[in-house]
Amino acid sequence: QVQLVESGGGLVQAGGSLRLSCAASGRTFSSYVMGWFRQTPGKEREFVATISWSGDSTDYADSVKGRFTISRDNAESTVILQMNSLKPEDTAVYYCAAGPILGSAYRSDYSYWGQGTQVTVSS
């Protein structure tokens, strides 16, 4: 069992930056692939980024590539999503997730989820 708690969301102007954090507790954090997803009302939850157990491999959705960076600190049991050059279309609830499958962009491959944090980008 892993408990995940996101923080760092808020309101920012287009072009600005936000740093999301996800704190994990429970079973060994380093044994999980970590991911970030996002969801807007009426839409499916979509993949944003994922990072391998050790942090040496990452993958991103095309819509955020070059603007967002995922990283992790296994000693602190945290995963970070640094979001730069934000756009109004990045507005969503952002969720942290943990699972066993390297590089997966599929929600079903992630076993544990946080409660989400709201990100709002104004134009």
The candidate with the shortest Cα–Cα distance to 61, out of 77, 49, 72, is 49
Q: Say what the pLDDT of residue 1 is.
A: 84
Residue pLDDT, tens place only, 86-96: 999 999 999 99
Walking along the chain (123 residues) 10 residues at a time, the average pLDDT comes out as: 95 98 90 97 97 96 98 96 98 97 95 97 96
Q: How many CB atoms lie within 10 A of CB 18?
A: 21
pLDDT at 79: 98
Residue 26 is predicted with a pLDDT of 78
